[in-house]
Amino acid sequence: MPNRGKKYLKSRKQINAETRYHYAEAVKTSLDSSYAKFDESIDVAVRLGVDPRHADQMLRGTVVLPNGLGKEVKVLVFAKGAKEKEALDAGADFVGNDDLIKKIKDGWLGFDKAVATPDMMGSVGKIGRILGPRGLMPNAKTETITFDIERVVAELKSGKIDFRVEKAGIVHVPMGKVSFGVDKIIQNFVVFVETILRLRPASSKGTYLKSIVISTTMGPGVKIDTASLKELAA
């Protein structure tokens, strides 16, 4: 086990490692245990009863968190003609086509999300090996390949996130910042869990929500009682 600092150990004493908390209490406990001098992020890890090796159990989706993530999201849009102006009017940080593709080929990656109109994908595909491994490639499943530029850019700027289950059956997502306070983090958490429940694959058998842990960037994890989420499932 790695050596832990005094502040971490003190923080961990506030949490009963054997207890699974009601989700609202877990959020409060996690925020109360925050000790870093910077505004820590709040992260959630959900272990699902799915086997991602099977295509019909590969869970992937998007969710617009009502309170955002507490950070500026830089959005790039690959578009032509009138759609370029639409993207700029919607608040996109970078808009273009071949010029942006060349800039990315040259090593520039100063953005967080990328959107493309369908007619641009032939060109954008040429930099797929650069964007793909970094999770920046536009994808129809996350609605980032679209002609509805205004809506998608607005959602991304306001806190829309995309997620997918990892090989071990775990989904990791950010929920915001400690400075949000308990109520706003709970609101984000509830919307996310409702989305996870709605996307349950039909082929998933047995227990679907196996475990959920919430934590701050530097703090210990707080286990959530999945039974407390039954009201959200309803």
Q: Report helix, strand and coil shares of the chain as percent, to nearest 5.
A: 40, 20, 40
What is the per-residue DSSP string for 71-132? S---EEEE--THHHHHHHHHT-SEEESHHHHHHHHTT----SEEEE-GGGHHHHGGGHHHHG
Each residue's pLDDT tens digit, 184-220: 999 999 999 999 999 999 988 889 999 999 999 988 8
Task: Return the CATH number of 13-69+160-233, one of 3.20.20.140, 3.30.190.20, 3.40.190.10, 3.40.50.300.
Answer: 3.30.190.20
Mean of pLDDT over the chain? 91
Per-residue pLDDT at 5: 66
> Of the candidates 223, 233, 175, which has an alpha carbon nearest to the alpha carbon of residue 25?
223
Q: Which helix (H) or strand (E) is 16 found in, with range?
A: none
Each residue's pLDDT tens digit, 19-72: 899 999 999 999 988 888 899 999 999 999 999 889 999 898 889 999 999 888
**pLDDT grade for 18, boundaries at 50, 70 and 90:** confident
Per-residue pLDDT at 1: 47
Which class is 75-157 in CATH? alpha beta
Per-residue pLDDT at 126: 95
Rounded CA separation 49/170 (Å): 9
Phi, psi of 25, deg, nearest 5: -70, -35
**pLDDT grade for 7, boundaries at 50, 70 and 90:** low
Each residue's pLDDT tens digit, 81-105: 999 999 999 999 999 999 999 999 9
Task: Please report where in the chains the tokens 């273009």 appear, as a residue.
Answer: 96
- CA distance to 15, 18, 47, 149, per residue, from 220 (Å): 8, 13, 17, 40
Q: Which residues contact 2 (CB under 8 A, 6 or more apart)?
A: none
Per-residue pLDDT at 141: 84
Each residue's pLDDT tens digit, 112-165: 999 999 999 999 999 999 999 998 999 998 899 999 999 999 999 988 888 999
**Whole-prediction pTM:** 0.80
Lowest mean pLDDT among 2-11, 69-78, 159-168: 2-11
Per-residue pLDDT at 204: 86
Q: Using an 8 Å Cβ cutoff, are 232 and 197 in contact?
A: yes
Q: Using an 8 Å Cβ cutoff, are 42 and 185 in contact?
A: yes
Domain residue ranges in the chain: 13-69+160-233, 75-157
Q: Using an 8 Å Cβ cutoff, are 219 and 41 in contact?
A: no
